[in-house]
Amino acid sequence: MIAERPRTTQELAPLVGLSVTGLSKCLRRLAEAGLVSTRWDGYYVVYSLEPSRLEAVSAAISSFLDL
């Protein structure tokens, strides 16, 4: 969903079936891990994916699974 375009928690929550508060907590952790980036748009935080970071995580998981 945020792979398609950046979105706010208010946009994403109904799409994933979580409360805005619950989703915000999840997205905050993903941001701390560098997997998503954030920017303010007025009152709202807009989340977007960090493709290069996701590629690195994917490569690490693939290497682990190949063991």
Give the CATH number of the domain where residue 53 resides: 1.10.10.10
Residue 50 burial (10 A CB sphere; 0-12, 13-18, 19+) = middle
The answer to whether residue 2 is domain-embedded is no
pLDDT value of position 63: 87
In a domain, 42, yes or no: yes
Residue 34 belongs to some domain of the structure: yes
What would the pLDDT profile of 8-64 be if each residue is shown by its tens digit? 999 999 999 999 999 999 999 999 999 999 999 999 999 999 888 878 888 888 888
Assess if residue 61 is contained within a domain.
yes
Provide the domain count of the chain.
1
State pTM to two decimals: 0.78
Whether 19 is covered by a domain: the verdict is yes
Domain coverage including residue 13:
7-65
